[in-house]
Amino acid sequence: MDMPVPSSYNDLMQTPTDRDFVGWAWYERRFRPPIACHARRARLHFASVHYYAIVWLDGLEIATHEGGHLPFEADISSILFQAKGRELRLTVAANNTLTPNTIPPGRIIYMNDTSQYPPGYFVQEVDFDFFNYAGIDRPVSIICSSQVYVEDILVTTNFSASVGFVFYNISIAGGTVTSIFVGLRDPKGRHVAGDAVLPDHICLPSFHSTLSPHGLIKVPNVSLWWPVGMNTTPGLLYTLEVLVCGFDGEKDVVRLQFGIRTVRVVGSRLLLNDHEIYLHGLGRHEDADLRGRGYDAVTMAKDASLLSWLGANAFRTSHYPYAEQTLDMADRQGILVISEAPAVGLVTVDNFGKRSLEQHMTTLRELINRDRNHPSVIMWSLANEPASNLQVAESYFRQVIAEAHRLDGTRPVTVVLNKGVSVDRVAQYLDVVSVNAYFGWYHDSGHPELIGRQLGHMLSAWYTKHHHPVILMEYGAGSVAGLHSLPSVMFSEEYHLEVMRQHFPVFDEKRKDFLVGEMLWNLVDFNTPQGVKRMAGNRKGLFTRNRQPKMAAFLLRDRYVRLNNASAHPLIPWCLGN
C-alpha cells in the first residue's frame, strides 16, 4: 500500500493486526537522484526510524541503525556517481520489536498453551504507558556538499557584563582544506564579529583566512537568549556562518543558529544567565493523530501555540527525543526544553545489563550530539521512572550520568524518579532531582484533601536527603472531556481541577527554598496500549487529542499567567478562591 513518509504506519491501516504489528515492515520506492549531487559528496539522511533499521540502495546494504527517534546517515556518493542519473531503488526495513536489552526495553511473550492460543502466538509487552508507534516517522533527505565539508559544529557560550563569548569547534571531513572563514551575525542579521561574508570568489587560492577550526569570538553589546516570561525579548538567536574551501576551489557553507546563555546549578537554585529560573510547563507526547509519532509541522505549530496560550515556559520531551524542528521552534519562541533519552521502562534486573548499558550510552551520545547547540535545551533527562531502588541501577546510572557530564559539561543532568526517597540509589549522583508523583490519583485515589500534606512531605524529604534542586516532573489526574460531577469523582473534569488546585499552594511554599519546577502531566490526551486502566488512551491531557481544551486548561493558564506576571516578585501567593 502507499505509505506517507514521515508517519507511523500503525493508524493508517484498518485491522487490529496491522495496527499492533510487531516485526519487519518493508518500505520501497524508486527515485532519480538530484542532478546537482552527481559529482558531489552525497549523504542519505534519516531523521528517525523506529526501532531497528536496515537500508539498501539498488540492493546494496548501505546502513544499519538501532534506536528510534535519532538520526543516522550513509554516504552514497559513489552510488550516485555510477548511476549517472538513472532511476535508483531505495529499500528500508524497519523493525519495532523491543527486547529486555533495547532502549526502551520490552519483552516478547510466547503463549504456548495451544488449547487457548494458535501455534507461534506471541505478544509484545512493554513497561511504558504510550503506544509503540513504528516506521519511518521523520523526514528522509539527500544532503549534497563539496568533497570537503563541515561535518559538525559545537558551540558553547558565556558572557561577562555586556560582552558575550562564543567558543566554536568545527569538524571538517572529506579532503584538503585551503581556507576557513568564520563569521557571526546578530539577531538582526548584522555582521558583528569574525570574517565578513565575502563573494564566492573567496575560495580562490589567493584568499586565506587566519581563523582556525576552533576558536573564540567576542561579542560586544551581547543580546542574551531568554525564555518567555522574563520581561525581555525571548528567543534571540545569533548565526554562526562557516565557509570551508577545498583544494579544488569548491566550498561548503553552513549556518548555525544558536543563543548566547549560561545554565548553572548553585546550591538549591537553577540559574539561567545568573538569574534564578522557575520552570512551569508540561510533559508532552509527540503524538500527532493519524501520523502517530511521525513528524508533522501543522501539529508542531499547533502545540507551540497551545504552550504560548497557557503561558508555559518549558516542556519535557517525554519519553524520547522529539523531532529537531520542535527544538528549532523552541529556540525561536523562547521555550525551555528538558531533552530526554528514550530510556523508559527500565524496571527489571535484565534491563540493566551490559548490552542495555552500551545501547543507552550510544543513544545518549546521539542525543547530545544532535541537541547540544540548541539554547532552549536547559537540561538532559537520562531516563524516566527506572527501578532506581535496585542495587544494579546504582552502578548503571553512575556510568550513564558520568558519560552525560563528559559529553556536555554546560548543562545539568537529571533522571526522572518514582521510587521512594528512602530506597532510591540514583538521586545522589544528579544535579537536579526530578520526581513523578500522582497524589490523589494513583496514591489515595479519590482523596485530593490529602495532597497538600503528602506532597509537601515528599518534596521536603528529597531535598533534605540530597540538598539538590527539586522538580516535580509529573503530577495530575485524568478526565474525560465533557464528563461532569458534583460532588466531583475521578475522571470528571471537576476532579481534575480539584487535584491541580491542591498542588499549587505547596509549589508556592517550596519554591521559596528548593523547588525549581512544576511540570503538569500532560499537554494532550495520547494513545496507549489497550488495557482496563485506559479508556481509549491516557486522558491526563489538558486538551483532547484533537487539541480542544478541557476545564483544566483554563485553570493552568490562570496559574502560569500569574507566574509570568510575577516574575519580578516570585513569591506571589496562589489564592484558591480566585
Determine the Cα–Cα distance for residues 219 and 230; give it in Å rounded to an integer.
22
HSE on the CB side for 571, CA within 13 Å?
5
* CA distances to 339, 345, 346, 532 from 132, in Å: 20, 12, 16, 18
Q: Could you tell me which residues come within 8 angstroms of residue 326 by beta carbon, excluding any fewer than 6 positions away?
A: 286, 300, 317
37 secondary structure, DSSP code: G
Q: Which three cell numbers stand for residue 164?
A: 558575550
Q: Which three cell numbers stand for residue 168?
A: 566554536
Tell me, yes or no, if 385 is annotated catalytic: yes
* CA distances to 159, 163, 219, 223 from 260, in Å: 8, 10, 10, 7
Q: How many CB atoms lie within 10 A of CB 220?
A: 9
- Per the DSSP assignment, residues forming a β-bridge with 149 are 173
Of the residues 73, 366, 385, 493, which is catalytic?
385
Phi and psi for 249 in degrees, rounded to 5? Answer: 90, -5
Determine the Cα–Cα distance for residues 325 and 298; give it in Å rounded to an integer.
12
- Length of the chain equals 578
Determine the Cα–Cα distance for residues 155 and 578; give it in Å rounded to an integer.
46
Contact 30, 90 (CB under 8 A): yes
DSSP-assigned states of every residue in 161-176: TTEEEEEEEEEEESS-
Determine the Cα–Cα distance for residues 436 and 385; give it in Å rounded to an integer.
8
Residue with cell 502560569: 560
Q: Which three cell numbers stand for residue 101?
A: 536489552
At 365 the three-state DSSP class reads helix
* CA distances to 203, 243, 446 from 207, in Å: 7, 12, 74
- Active site residues per annotation: 385
